[in-house]
């Protein structure tokens, strides 16, 4: 693949972070690390779902009703911690237009927790509805897996914030959990060694693929990755992070990450390669938004992915349908699940690769394979 695929393990030694001109999450002028932007009560966890679960455990004694209102368009890994913490689930639909929640006000008396989540860096939701929920005593839990580096990624009214940095950089353990008033009451469990070993072995194999070592293959990377992920699905808990991951997060030049992702996103927009097989979900990049990917809709996604693949571009589908709802009851989410896909715009790439992505997206519209 020319563009896309796993990150390699990051270097835990600090690198220059020379793009302070780009807005950064909570404090645009802070010279500190990414974690400094998040507030005081931040805990590093083994993964995003471990972080979310640790927040729900913290809330458990207080939230005796345990009815969570979650997006119908979400990941199985988001739903699992709620189930494990004993929540009954209600879902809201999500509009394909800018992935905007379609909240139902009638449900406010019937829920105790609102789960909110930005998508691909962009947070588009009815702020008034969130205010009404908070006024009604509902706990706001925000998932920042997709909006971790966006200036509007955290709603000030959230009591708990959880997310995963694993989609943003090459890191063994990427969970972050924030309690925004008070302190977490329970300690985290130590990181689980077998999971970390699987993550490291995946990075090592990816490094061998990039170095062109004989016997190394993208298939093997994928096998190790999925074996480790499937195991995490069944054994996740309120696990903490490891030292290496904490070092990487603290040293990471996150302003560069924001700067490069925004630059790459803007570059593709400027090329306007869009067509019915590549319709941008977010056709504008507002100030302060740090995109995780460029997400698109395709009339025929299977075909679009095949053309991109022929061009050496690895596109990803977030997410496979989690199976917790009847798609007919959530037409917005059903459309999204069927048509959305994402291409990389991350900090590993520059204009050269983004030109290849643009060319491939254009070719997806004509159905042309790579020549
Ligand atoms: C929105 C969202 N939240 C949470 C998670 C869970 O993160 P992790 O895979 O690190 O447990 C994911 C993972 O894909 C996600 O997409």
Distance from residue 262's CA to the centre of ligand 1 (Å): 22
Ligand 1 site, residue 164, Cβ cutoff 6 A: yes
DSSP notation for 209-221: HHTT-TT--HHHH
Give the span between the Cα atoms of 345 and 353, in whole angstroms: 9
Distance from residue 229's CA to the centre of ligand 1 (Å): 11
Which atom belonging to ligand 1 lies closest to the Cα atom of 318?
16
| Tokens (6 digits) for 36 | 């400094």
DSSP state of 294: E
pLDDT tens digits, one per residue of 79-102: 999 999 999 999 999 999 999 999
Which atom belonging to ligand 1 lies closest to the Cα atom of 236?
11
pLDDT of residue 19: 62
Closest CA to ligand 1's atom 2: 145
Q: Among 49, 123, 175, 232, which is best to mutate for testing ligand 1, by the most ligand atoms less than 8 A from CB?
A: 49
pLDDT of residue 32: 77
In Å, what is the CA distance from 168 to each residue of 39, 94, 306? 20, 24, 25
pLDDT (tens place) for every residue of the chain, 371 residues total? 799 989 999 988 867 776 655 555 554 445 578 998 898 899 999 999 999 999 999 999 999 999 999 999 999 999 999 999 999 999 999 999 999 999 999 999 999 999 999 999 999 999 999 999 999 999 999 999 999 999 999 999 999 999 999 999 999 999 999 999 999 999 999 999 999 999 999 999 999 998 999 999 989 999 999 999 999 999 999 999 999 999 999 999 999 999 999 999 999 999 999 999 999 999 999 999 999 999 999 999 999 999 999 999 999 999 999 999 999 999 999 999 999 999 999 999 999 999 999 999 999 999 766 54
Ligand 1 site, residue 141, Cβ cutoff 6 A: no
Angle at the Cα of 146 (from 65 to 71), degrees rounded to 5?
A: 35
**100-102 and 88-95 as β-strands: parallel, antiparallel, unpaired?**
antiparallel
| Tokens (6 digits) for 312 | 């050496």
**113-117 and 100-102 as β-strands: parallel, antiparallel, unpaired?**
unpaired
> How many other CB atoms are found less than 10 A from the CB of residue 238?
27
pLDDT of residue 1: 78
CA nearest neighbour of 197 among 160, 232, 238: 232
Tell whether omega for the bond before 328 is within 30 degrees of 0, i.e. cis: no
Q: What's the alpha-carbon Rg for the chain, to the nearest Å? A: 20
Distance from residue 74's CA to the centre of ligand 1 (Å): 9
**340-344 and 293-297 as β-strands: parallel, antiparallel, unpaired?**
antiparallel
Q: Are 127 and 114 in contact (CB under 8 A)?
A: no
């Amino acid at each position: 693949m020319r563009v896309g695929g796993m990150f390699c393990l990051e270097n835990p030694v600090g690198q220059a972070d020379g793009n302070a001109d780009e807005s950064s999450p909570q404090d645009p002028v802070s010279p500190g690390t990414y974690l400094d932007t998040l507030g005081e009560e931040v805990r590093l966890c083994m993964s995003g779902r471990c972080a979310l679960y640790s927040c729900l455990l913290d809330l458990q004694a207080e939230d005796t009703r345990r009815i969570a209102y979650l997006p119908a368009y979400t990941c199985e890994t988001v739903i699992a911690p709620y189930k494990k913490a004993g929540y009954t689930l209600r879902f809201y639909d999500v509009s394909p237009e800018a992935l905007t929640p379609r909240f139902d006000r009638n449900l406010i008396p019937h829920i105790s927790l609102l789960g909110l989540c930005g998508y691909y860096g962009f947070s588009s939701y009815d702020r008034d509805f969130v205010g009404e929920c908070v006024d009604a005593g509902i706990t706001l839990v925000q998932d920042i897996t997709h909006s971790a580096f966006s200036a509007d990624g955290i709603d000030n009214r959230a009591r708990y914030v959880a997310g995963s940095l694993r989609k943003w950089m090459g890191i063994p353990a990427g969970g972050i959990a924030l309690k925004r008033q008070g302190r977490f009451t329970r300690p985290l469990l130590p990181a689980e060694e077998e999971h970390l070993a699987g993550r490291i072995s995946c990075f090592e194999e990816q490094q061998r693929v990039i170095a062109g070592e004989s016997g190394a293959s993208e298939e093997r990377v994928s096998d190790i990755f999925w074996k480790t992920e499937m195991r995490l699905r069944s054994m996740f808990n309120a696990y903490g992070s490891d030292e290496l991951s904490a070092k990487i997060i603290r040293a990471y030049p996150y302003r560069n990450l924001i700067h490069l992702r925004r630059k790459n996103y803007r570059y593709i927009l400027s090329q306007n390669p869009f067509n019915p097989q590549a319709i941008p979900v977010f056709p504008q990049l507002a100030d302060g938004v740090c995109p995780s990917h460029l997400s698109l809709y395709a009339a025929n996604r299977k075909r679009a992915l095949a053309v991109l693949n022929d061009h050496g571009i690895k596109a990803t589908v977030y997410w496979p349908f989690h199976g917790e709802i009847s798609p007919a009851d959530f037409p917005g989410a059903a459309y999204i699940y069927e048509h959305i896909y994402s291409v990389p715009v991350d900090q590993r790439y520059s204009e050269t690769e983004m030109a290849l992505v643009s060319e491939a997206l254009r070719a997806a519209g004509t159905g042309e394979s790579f020549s």
